[in-house]
Structure 1
Amino acid sequence: MSDELPAGVERRQFDGEERLATRGEPVYGEPTNEGWRAWNPNRSKLGAMLELGMETGLAGGDDEMVLYLGAASGTTVSHVADVAGPTYAVEFAPRPARDLLEAADSRPRLFPLLADARKPERYAHVVECDVDAIVQDVATRGQARVALENARFLADDGRLVLAVKARSEDVTREPGDVFADVRDELSEGYEVLEYRRLDDYHADHLGIVARPR
């Protein structure tokens, strides 16, 4: 475990409580304090991973390029775009994508893409460069396969930061068995560096950090 946070992510006081925070316009009704916005780990798997001390490999900084899969309405990806460089946000559902567009209005480095993360060829013409990190939070069957299909965008020394939702894979199986299968499938193209259950914040979820083989 590590207490090291990406550049631009700090622990700040909100109503007497120390919480993770980034600088930027609020997106989901989160508390703010002098330009800082609290990062709610109960609404963000990446936020939970950082709270739990996982070494995500995210550095922060204007030079860090990120591909975010499953951006939804922008809760987590807005925090990422607050601290990183160009951040490509892939979301398939039109309704949350509209909210994502609003989150991007005040973030010139956040680029929403209405696309299916299972079909990376649909946005390969936009995400042309090797990204430093892929952050994935896609609630669909075949989450490992999504990560493998998108590995084409990841730099050789990049990181995959993956939140696996067991119930999206198979509601009838034990989450631990689902997680083991996901890690095994990921090994086709990634080396898993760390994994941890996120149940303190998100039931039946696993956080995984991996690098390309």
Structure 2
Amino acid sequence: MEVATMSDQLPAGVERRAFDGVERLATRGDPVYGEPTDGEWRAWDPTRSKLGAMFELGMETGLEGDDTVLYLGAASGTTVSHVADFAGPTYAVEFAPRPARDLLSAAQSRPRLFSLLADARKPETYAHVVEADVDAIVQDVATRGQARVALENRRFLADDGRLLLAVKARSEDVTSDPDDVFADVETELEAGYEILERRRLDEYHTDHLGVVARPK
């Protein structure tokens, strides 16, 4: 039986390429946050991207090139710009006006990236824009109630879709042990999702958990 390599988990359009002699994840697109470039390729920094960290750690995200993606917590576009480099229509939800302006700038050269100034806790406010049955929800929302956000947005996910969730323990409860916080979030998630894989992201992001799940 052939053993899968880490590269086998990468979607089409994401490659490992050398930048200054160091092999790094990369996508094709205009630079957004001062990342190294090599021609049309731009390095994907996993220390600034929870999804990038999940790729680096070999998690099986199920993402494929040309997938339709709903990205919750897009901020200034660091990660979602990489996603839009290889994915299909990518809906980027950000609540704060200042990073949303930077997100708009990242979207200018990416016709498949749609910026939405909205609150991920209130999916009804963008339900008229986001198409039904998206292939993946990528969530990186630093707020209390991260499981509830994922459950509220489950309505957009295809039956065979994936939730790629980065749980920030300190956003849920700064006083509790992160493992206890993660356990509580996972228990709540199970009301609407089956968890396929979980992994601490501490190598790149302290007190974060990466979760891959599918809708029940």
Q: TM-score, normalised by structure 2?
A: 0.97
Alignment match of 1:187 (pick from 181, 187, 190): 190
Which consecutive unaligned segments of at least 5 residues does structure 1 have?
Answer: none
Please tell me whether residue 28 in structure 1 is matched to residue 36 in structure 2: no
Cα distance change, pair 180–45 in 1 and its aligned pair in 2 (3 A): same
The structural deviation recorded for 1:105 is: 0.2
Please tell me whether residue 17 in structure 1 is matched to residue 22 in structure 2: yes
The list of structure 1 runs, each at least 4 consecutive aligned residues, that deviate by more than 6 angstroms after superposition, is none
What secondary structure sits across from 2:31 in the alignment? coil
Alignment match of 2:82 (pick from 73, 79, 83): 79
Contact 1:72 1:100 in 2 (8 A): yes
Hey, what does 1:52 align to over in structure 2? 57
Hey, what does 1:135 align to over in structure 2? 138
- Percent of aligned pairs with the same residue? 82
Note the alpha carbon deviations across 1:78-126, whole angstroms, 9 max, x for none.
0000000000000000000000000000000000000000000000000
What secondary structure sits across from 2:27 in the alignment? strand
Alignment match of 1:158 (pick from 161, 169, 175): 161
Hey, what does 1:171 align to over in structure 2? 174
Q: TM-score, normalised by structure 1?
A: 0.98
Please tell me whether residue 114 in structure 1 is matched to residue 89 in structure 2: no
The structural deviation recorded for 1:129 is: 2.1
The structural deviation recorded for 1:34 is: 1.5
Which consecutive unaligned segments of at least 5 residues does structure 2 have?
Answer: none
Amino acid across the alignment from 1:82: D
Please tell me whether residue 124 in structure 1 is matched to residue 102 in structure 2: no
Cα distance change, pair 2–161 in 1 and its aligned pair in 2 (3 A): farther
How large is the RMSD of aligned CA atoms in angstroms? Answer: 0.8
Contact 1:88 1:112 in 2 (8 A): yes
